Amino acid sequence: MDSATNPGASDGLPTFEPSSPSNGSTTKPTRSNWRSALQYFNSEIAIEHADIPIIACCLVSGLCDSSAYNAWSCFVSMQTGNTIFLALGASDQPNTKPFGWLKSLVSITSFLLGCFIFASTRLINPKARGTLATSFVFQSMFIIIAAILVQAGVVPEPQGIVTESGSKINLLELLPLGLLAFQSGGQIVTSRILGFNEIPTTVLTSVYCDIASDPKILARDNIKRNRRVAAVIFILIGGIAGGWISRSSAGMSTSLWIAAGIKLVIALSWSFWRPKNSIQL
């Protein structure tokens, strides 16, 4: 009888919706997303195949060093040569580059500072995805700033082989020189942190020695030899490419943009790198 009089009563459905809490409904998912993101980027990467991005840094060194030396008669990665240039400055040599020692000093100092700063990542989970990606983003930004300075004409872009004459020196050249040397410190620190001491990325003298003195140099499976040989090849390729690009109408800034692009790709790859001890099906 009651159901006939009131059809809605037979359904037993509520006639109102419970009010959702105004606070906390969106906060919890947001916090959960933040925690998931932090956990993701704090995950330590798997070392397997992590030598590939480090070898790619050798290509960057070749591009930057060949361009910098061709333009400013100074290295930004290989500091052994800069140390000799600095030593020659004590006797005011070479005569054609009276301030070459100053450029070398700036490069060495910037490189050391870069190594010190980037090595501080040891305090914050150095092998984590986020740490490595952030490190390489900053490295690429330093190269980008140097490329902008050259392309915008703030620092005169040299064409072909440049020789200094007399006592003239453009102090603005020290800006991109220091930036490029600073970021070079970051990549060699990363190779050390990841345990790839056979790929220093910025020097080849010790690599040549290790290749020639390796008792297993002809062994079929010799991963360290393969990495050393790859480092030599990629620095050589980068140097050749940097020389031809500087000589072309593209100019030095193009080499720097390519180097910056490579480091951005490396930074992106660290972000998606497989975590350590992940289960592979």
SS3 category, 223: helix
Give the C-alpha separation, 176 to 103, whole Å.
11
The per-residue pLDDT for range 183-207, each reduced to its tens digit, is: 999 999 999 999 999 999 999 999 9
The dihedral region occupied by 158, where left means phi > 0, alpha psi between -120 and 50, and beta the remainder, is beta
The per-residue pLDDT for range 83-123, each reduced to its tens digit, is: 999 999 999 888 877 788 999 999 999 999 999 999 999 88
Q: What percent of the chain has pLDDT over 90?
A: 68
Asked if 38 and 163 touch (Cβ cutoff 8 Å), the reply is no
Give the C-alpha separation, 97 to 39, whole Å.
53
Average pLDDT value for the chain: 87
Burial 125-156 (b: 16+ CB within 10 A, else e): ebbbbbbbbbbbbbbbbbbbbbbbbbbeeebe
Q: Which regions of 53-196 does DSSP assign to beta strands (E)?
A: none
The per-residue pLDDT for range 219-273, each reduced to its tens digit, is: 999 999 999 999 999 999 999 999 999 889 999 999 999 999 999 999 999 999 9
Residue 163 pLDDT: 46
- Phi, psi (degrees; rounded to nearest 5) at 128: -75, 155
pLDDT of 36 above 70: yes
The dihedral region occupied by 248, where left means phi > 0, alpha psi between -120 and 50, and beta the remainder, is beta
What mean pLDDT do residues 52-58 have?
97
